[in-house]
Amino acid sequence: MAERRPTAVLISGRGSNLEALIRRSAAPESSARIELVLGDQAAPGLEHARAAGIPAGVVERRGFDQRADFERALDGRLRAAGIELICLAGFMRILSPTFVDAWRDRILNIHPSLLPAFPGLDTHRRALDAGVRLHGCTVHLVRAEVDAGPIIVQGAVPVLPDDTPEALATRVLEVEHQIYPFALELLASGRIRVEGEQAIADAPALPWNPLLNPSPAPDRTALG
């Protein structure tokens, strides 16, 4: 079997995506191996790493005056562990162009919207306020610009009539847990090629199957 790529996950909070990444990369056929988990604070999600026997630590952002020093410490930990790929999973720090360029095309992020719609925070409330009928999540390669970069995988869910931001977040999160391990597998197995600012995946596209929301009654055409 091919070498598995040593991967780190950076978190700030609960770590449900981390848990999904750990679970899927434990499969023998996985091309990635989670070998280090770091928090920028004592994040509850670090427990998922400890429970799986994966080295976990904290590089406290508050321990450094300058972001550059914090990032040097982070970079040092990653390189000392022989890390090749990084997954940001609810990591609430903006990384500098210097850090991002040093790891170019080797850092993934998951964002809870269908980018380029709704970059930034509070995406579920903003999607409801905008009245969109489809919402979702995106895994992309990280660039210096926040929530931007070549898109690897997206997953969509319908917005339902009585949705609250919390209900929508729960629906989206379930999809996050599917697409993040899949996107990491694509990257780790060398099936992502970046051309210009587009990521091209060597993976079958979805069969043509429109997702209509609301959907026409089963006995009607798409024109209702």
Please classify residue 224 by burial: count the beta carbons closer than 10 Å to its beta carbon, then call 0-12 exposed, 13-18 middle and 19+ buried: exposed
Q: Is 55 in the site for ligand GRF (CB under 6 A)?
A: no
Q: Is 111 in the site for ligand GRF (CB under 6 A)?
A: yes
User: Is 72 or 93 the residue whose CB approaches ligand GRF more closely?
Assistant: 93
The secondary element (H helix, E strand) that includes residue 145 is: none
- CA 42 to chain centroid, in Å, comes to 20
- Shortest Cβ distance from residue 14 to ligand GRF (Å)? 4
DSSP 203-217: SPPPPS----SS---
Q: Using CB under 6 A, count the residues that bind ligand GRF.
A: 16
Determine the Cα–Cα distance for residues 47 and 15; give it in Å rounded to an integer.
9
For residue 140, indicate whether it is catalytic.
no
**Closest residue by beta carbon to ligand GRF:** 90
Among 4, 5, 7, 16, binds ligand GRF (CB under 6 A): 16
User: Is 110 or 188 the residue whose CB approaches ligand GRF more closely?
Assistant: 110
Residues 51, 18: contact at Cβ < 8 Å? no
Determine the Cα–Cα distance for residues 178 and 24; give it in Å rounded to an integer.
9
Helices (H), 81-115: 97-102
Residues between 146 and 185 that touch ligand GRF (CB under 6 A):
173, 176
Which span (13-21, 56-64, 71-79, 211-219) binds ligand GRF, by CB under 6 A?
Answer: 13-21
Q: Annotated active-site positions, please?
A: 111
Residues within the interface to ligand GRF (CB under 6 A): 11, 13-18, 45, 89-90, 110-112, 137, 173, 176
